[in-house]
Amino acid sequence: MSPSVSVNAQSPSGWSPESWQTRPAVQQPQYPDAARLAEALDQLRHLPPLVTSWEVETLKQHLARAQDGDGFILQGGDCAESFADCRPEIITNRLKVLLQMSLVLVHGLRSRVVRIGRFAGQYAKPRSADTETRDGLTLPSYRGDLVNAPEFTAAARIPDPRRLLEGHARSAMTINFVRGLIDGGFADLHHPEYWDLDWVQHSPLAADYQAMVDALGDSVRFMETLAGQPIGEFSRVEFFTSHEALLLWYEQAQTRQVPRKPGWYNLSTHFPWIGMRTAEIGGAHVEYCRGIRNPMGVKVSPSMTVDWVLGLCRVLNPDNEPGRLTLIHRMGADKVGDHLPRLIEAVRDAGHRVLWICDPMHGNTISTPNGLKTRPFDRILSEVEQSFAIHKACGSRLGGVHLELTGEDVTECTGGARNLAHADLERAYRSSVDPRLNYEQALELAMKIVRVAG
C-alpha cells in the first residue's frame, strides 16, 4: 500500500505525518547540522516501534470506559526522565510506587484503575526561554536529554541528533524491563510484598497500607476459593506509557502505518499528550496530533478560554470518538475554582465526549527563599479535592490524576506525613526540572484521594 493512498483514504483532510512542518512549531531545538539530523531521523524511522497498535487501541477502550464512569486513571512518573536514570532500581521503584498507589485506589474506590506511566520516552522538556545566561555567557536552554545535556557548557547545550537514537534505545530498554517484570509476575496481586520499598516499614503510613494489602490478599484468596481455581489473568495488571509529544521530528519518525488497520499510529508511546505551551490550535503540535490514531491528552491551563478548549475538542476529536481525548486540567489550587466550572459546562453543552483528569502539580509550583522549585503537598491535595467537588457539582466526573512522582526517597515537595519544610529540601533534591512527590507523599495522596472520592 503506498503511503499517499492511505493518507488520503484514512487520515483527516490535509494531514500527513509531516504536515506539522507547515505550521508554527514552538519549543523545537535548532539543530546546527541539518544533514546529521536527517541521518538520525532516517535511522529512527526504520527501528522497531516501542508499542503496538493493539495496545494503543486497548488503552483507548479503557479510557472510553472511564469516560462512562467505569475506571480511574493513574498517570504518573518523572517530570523529565534522564538517560542516567535508565537503571533497573530506579525503574523498579517507580513501578512499585505506581503499583502500590493503584492498589490503594482499586481497594478504596472499588474501581478499575488504568495505570499510565510518564516513562519510556519522557525525555523532552518545554522551556520558558530559548536561552539561558550565566555570568555573561548565553547558551541554548537545556531541553531534556532527548535534545542536549544539562551541564552549562557550549558543548553540552548544542542540540545533538544522536540523542534521538539514544532516547529511543533507552525508552526501549525501559519498556522492555517493565514488560519483563510484569509478565514475570512482579505485579501479581498474590505477592504485593514484591512491591515493598525498603523504607516503607518505617513510614507513618505503613500500618494503614499493610492492613489494606492484607485485606486485598484475603479477597483474592476468597475469590479463588469460590471459583475453585486461581484467578490467573485477573491478578495481573496492565501498564501503559505516555510522554509529552513535544519534539516533533522524533514523533514523526515513529509515526507508522500497520497492517489491517486504517490511519497512522504514534508507536513511540501509547498515550502522547500536548503540553500547555504547545496547545495553540493553529500550531504544529495540534496539527501533528490531530492525525494520529492514539488516545491523547491535552493540558488545560487557567489561561485557556472556553473557545480555545472547544476548538481543541473539535480539531483533535472531530468524530467524538470515545476514549480519544483526555483533558488534563492543571490550574493551581487558588485558580481551579474560578476556571474549571465554565470549561466543564461548555464542553458538556457542546456535546464533546472527553475524559477529565487533574494534574495538581504544575499549577502549584513555587520557589523557596533559596531558589529551589517546590510544591506544597497541601496545595496539591487541595487542587485534587476541589476538582472532585467541582466536577460533582457540575454533574461531571473527575476520572483520574496526572502526577509527578518518583519511587526514590527525595525531598522536593514540602509537607506530607513527615511534614517536610523548606529547610529539608536540600537533603535529597535531585530533580533537574520540576519537584516530584516522593514515595511516601505519593502513597499518602492516593490514600487521601480514596477519602475524597470513595
Site residues (CB under 5 A) for Co ion? 79, 434
Residues 6+ apart with CB under 8 A from 140: 29, 30, 130, 131, 132, 148, 157, 158, 159
Nearer to Co ion, 160 or 434 (CB): 434
What binding mask, one character per residue, do residues 301-340 give for ligand PEP by CB under 6 A, x or -?
A: -----------------------------x----------
Cα Rg, the chain, nearest whole Å = 22
275, 283, 332, 435: which one binds ligand PEP (CB under 6 A): 275
Q: At its nearest, how many Å lie between ligand PEP and the CB of residue 359?
A: 6
Between CA 436 and CA 90, with CA 126 as vertex, the angle to 5 degrees is: 35
H helices, E strands: number in the chain: 13, 14
47, 57, 92, 126: which one binds ligand PEP (CB under 6 A): 126
Binding status of residue 276 toward ligand PEP by CB under 6 A: yes
The residue count for binding ligand PEP (CB under 6 A) is 9
Instruction: Give, as ranges, the residues between 360 and 399 that touch ligand PEP (CB under 6 A).
Output: 362
Q: At its nearest, how many Å lie between Co ion and the CB of residue 280?
A: 19
Please answer whether residues 398 and 387 qualify as being in contact, where contact means their C-beta atoms are separated by less than 8 angstroms.
Answer: yes
CA distance 186 to 80: 25
Q: What is the DSSP code string of 336-353?
A: HHHHHHHHHHHHHHTT--
The binder of 256, among Co ion, ligand PEP, none, by C-beta within 5 to 8 A per type, is none
CA distance 341 to 306: 10
CA distance 305 to 342: 9
Q: At its nearest, how many Å lie between ligand PEP and the CB of residue 83?
A: 17
From 153-161, 271-279, 304-312, 412-420, span contacting ligand PEP (CB under 6 A): 271-279
Residue type, 226: L
Please answer whether residues 408 and 90 qualify as being in contact, where contact means their C-beta atoms are separated by less than 8 angstroms.
Answer: yes
Q: At its nearest, how many Å lie between ligand PEP and the CB of residue 278?
A: 8
φ/ψ bin of 400: left (φ > 0), alpha (ψ from -120 to 50), beta (otherwise): left
Nearer to Co ion, 81 or 251 (CB): 81
Residues 6+ apart with CB under 8 A from 205: 417, 440, 443, 444, 447
Binding status of residue 44 toward ligand PEP by CB under 6 A: no
Nearer to Co ion, 79 or 313 (CB): 79
Binding status of residue 114 toward ligand PEP by CB under 6 A: no
3-class DSSP assignment, residue 407:
coil
Nearer to Co ion, 81 or 434 (CB): 434
Instruction: Give, as ranges, the residues between 59 and 98 that touch ligand PEP (CB under 6 A).
Output: 79
Q: At its nearest, how many Å lie between Co ion and the CB of residue 363?
A: 11
CA distance 51 to 100: 24
Closest chain position to ligand PEP (CB): 275
Q: At its nearest, how many Å lie between ligand PEP and the CB of residue 279?
A: 8
CA distance 120 to 26: 23
Q: At its nearest, how many Å lie between ligand PEP and the CB of residue 202?
A: 30
CA distance 41 to 39: 5
Instruction: Give, as ranges, the residues between 204 and 263 that touch ligand PEP (CB under 6 A).
Output: none
Nearer to ligand PEP, 270 or 362 (CB): 362
CA distance 79 to 84: 15
Q: At its nearest, how many Å lie between ligand PEP and the CB of residue 357?
A: 12
The binder of 275, among Co ion, ligand PEP, none, by C-beta within 5 to 8 A per type, is ligand PEP
Where do contacts with ligand PEP occur on this chain (CB under 6 A)?
A: 79, 126, 275-277, 299, 330, 362, 434
